[in-house]
Structure 1
Amino acid sequence: MIWQNFIDQTLQPVNVSDTISEVKTAFEASPFNHLPVFKKEVFKGSIQAGDLIDLEPSSKLSEHKYLIEVFYVEIHKTNLDLIHEFANHQTNLLPILDHDKRYMGVMKLEDVLDLFGESPFVANEGEVIILRKERTKFAFSEVAQLIETLNARVSGMYISQLTQDAVEVTVKVEHQGINEILQTFRRYDYQIASEHPEDLFAEDLKEHSDYLNKYLDI
């Protein structure tokens, strides 16, 4: 499903002419940490609940314009753009504007997470593998090829961490046996950052460690 179908147009925004007391009341009736702010019928930005704590209740929001944050997502953006903005502004509510910067409604974080949870990457069965490799030697095509040559299927893949020297990629794999896939990646100089009960390499290391400990105790 596309996220645009879940835009909420029922949320009542606050107005710059509202008193701080009125805005606080609006937050008390809402589960959100931001609320959209309007001046008459024009979207001006969002106000955060925590910024109101020490303000004079009888003062108007218009007296504290410096607290209004201007962030939003345009209607043509993707799910990933939404998630980026939610994280970037530490909010659970995003204003949505059309191509002409006109307010259309809001997206709730819980709705976006539900949509993400229905994606094949999350919803399909499979094993999640976290791989690390030198940045200069990493290629998505190689990861996919190694998996597919073992008659497994890639459900999804994304870079979960990136440094100057290394790439960490999270891969979801549909397979019949994970051990062969893990050993193949090791032969191609990938580090396995995730833990897997079927990983015989990890079991061998444990056995060797146990043997060494017993030897040292003699």
Structure 2
Amino acid sequence: MIWQNLIDKTLQPLDISNSISEVKSVFKTSTFNHLPVFKKGVFKGSINIDDLIDLDKDAPLSEFKYLIEVFYAEAHKTNLDLIHEFANHQTNMLPILDQDKNYIGVMKLEDVLDLFGESPFVANEGEVMILRKERTKFSFSEVAQLIETLNAKLSGMYVSYLSKDVVEITVKVEHQSINEILQTFRRYDYQIASEHPEDLFTEDLKEHSDYLNKYLDI
């Protein structure tokens, strides 16, 4: 299912002429921490429930325009674009506009996360690895090629950390021997930032460390 099919068009709108008391009443009927605000039917932004606490309940919202945050997503964006907007604005409600900036409805954070959870990266069985390498030496195509040469199935990968010098990616694969994959990546100068019980390299290091400690204790 595409996320556009889940746009909620039933949310009760707030008008900038509403009193703070009226705005709070609308919040009580929803589970959102933001609600969209309109002026004569035109979308103006969203108001956060936490910003209403100390305001005069009889004053109109228009007296507090500086509290209205302008954020939204356009209907042609992807699931990941939406998640980025949710995170940036710490909201569980995202206004959706068309290409002409006309208001369509809102997306709920829970619906977008549910869709993301249905993606192969999350839903498929497999092992998740975190690989780290120098940024100038990193290549997505190399990662995919190494996985394919081992007859493993790649469910997805994304950049989970990025700095000037280092890139870290999270990869999910389906393969019977994760140890074989880990050793292959090490041979190509990738560091393994995740822990895996099947990782014989880690087990070997532990055995050597234990042996060294015993030797030093003699």
**TM-score of the pair, normalised by structure 1:** 0.97
Quote the residue 1:90 is aligned against.
90
Q: Distance in 2 between matches of 1:50 and 1:153?
A: 46
Quote the residue 2:135 is aligned against.
135
Residues 129-181 of structure 1 deviation map (CA, whole Å, 9 limit, x = unaligned): 10000001000111111111111111101111110001101111011110011
**Percent of residue pairs bearing the same amino acid type:** 82
Q: Does 1:15 align with 2:15?
A: yes
Quote the residue 2:36 is aligned against.
36
1:81 shift after superposition: 1.1
Kindly report which structure 2 residues correspond to 1:11-160, keeping only aligned pairs within 5 A, or say none. Answer: 11-160=11-160
Q: Identify unmatched segments of 5+ residues in structure 1.
A: none
Which residue identity is paired with 2:213? N
1:19 shift after superposition: 0.8
Quote the residue 1:161 is aligned against.
161
1:41 shift after superposition: 1.2
SS in 2 for 1:54: coil
Instruction: Spell out structure 1 runs of 4+ moving beyond 6 A.
Output: none
1:216 shift after superposition: 2.2
Which residue identity is paired with 1:213? N
RMSD (CA atoms): 0.9
1:213 shift after superposition: 1.9
SS in 2 for 1:213: helix
**Number of residue-to-residue matches in the alignment:** 218
Q: Distance in 1 between matches of 2:146 and 2:100?
A: 46
Q: Distance in 2 between matches of 1:76 and 1:170?
A: 26
**TM-score of the pair, normalised by structure 2:** 0.97
Residues 14-49 of structure 1 deviation map (CA, whole Å, 9 limit, x = unaligned): 111111111112112211110000112111110001
